[in-house]
Structure 1
């Protein structure tokens, strides 16, 4: 099965982060745009394998602050939960 790949770049706001993921992975219209909804959609509604590449991650960290840290924790938890999920920070 082909890898579903999402490349994030030039992320300046949390809204932009959710917009890009929803667009690139074709999230369902009911996606709630919060951490719980992101977990639910990435564990139950997006078939794998999934790869997220976050480019310019240091700039995103500066822009998003504590939200960035929460997203990285969620991605680490997803990698532990799903054998077919990977993410890379660049």
Structure 2
């Protein structure tokens, strides 16, 4: 992985093959490896104005028109089902499970800010589907307070100029 990270700093490089010889990797380890690899690819794409050309199974990255298109491709997307979120308590429970906040998560808006602003590996895209169902069930004030924390996190990452950042959509 260090060689790939070093290669990302060079304006152009070629990746011939990546082989995992161990069959004892857990699904979580494979997903973490994939996320790190995507991050390296995005950094390499950002460092080369004309883009990179990939062949084989990752050919979908070739000829992409903008850096934002490349970044969307690499985000770790997480869907939060509004039909399961009927209260602030439901929101914290569902999001904690979705993003693996662990047993010590405080289940309140301050704890949410702490986790989102500092503890999550980026890039991440949180998509809150059927959010109107959540808003209707929990009330506009509670819903807006949660969205305010999501927006504050998004703004923080933008203000810091991070290329790997938190983003969200409320659908």
TM-score, with normalisation over the residues of structure 2?
A: 0.50
Q: Which has the bigger relative contact order, CA under 8 A and spacing at least 6?
A: 1
1:71 aligns with 146
Q: Which of the two has greater helix per residue?
A: 2
Alignment of 1:8 onto 2:80: yes
Gaps of 5+ in 2: 1-38, 40-73, 159-164
Q: Which of the two has greater strand per residue?
A: 1
Gaps of 5+ in 1: none
1:82 aligns with 157
- Give the whole-Å Cα distance in 2 for the aligned partners of 1:51 and 1:60: 19
Identify the range of structure 1 (34-43 vs 76-85) with the bigger mean alpha-carbon deviation: 76-85
Larger Rg: 2
Name the SS for the 1:43 alignment partner.
helix
- Give the whole-Å Cα distance in 1 for the aligned partners of 2:96 and 2:169: 18
Q: Which of residues 30, 33, 54 is equivalent to 2:107? A: 33
Indicate conservation of the 8 Å contact 1:39/1:74, yes or no. yes
- Give the whole-Å Cα distance in 2 for the aligned partners of 1:6 and 1:37: 19
Indicate conservation of the 8 Å contact 1:6/1:21, yes or no. no
- Give the whole-Å Cα distance in 2 for the aligned partners of 1:52 and 1:81: 16
- Give the whole-Å Cα distance in 1 for the aligned partners of 2:151 and 2:120: 17
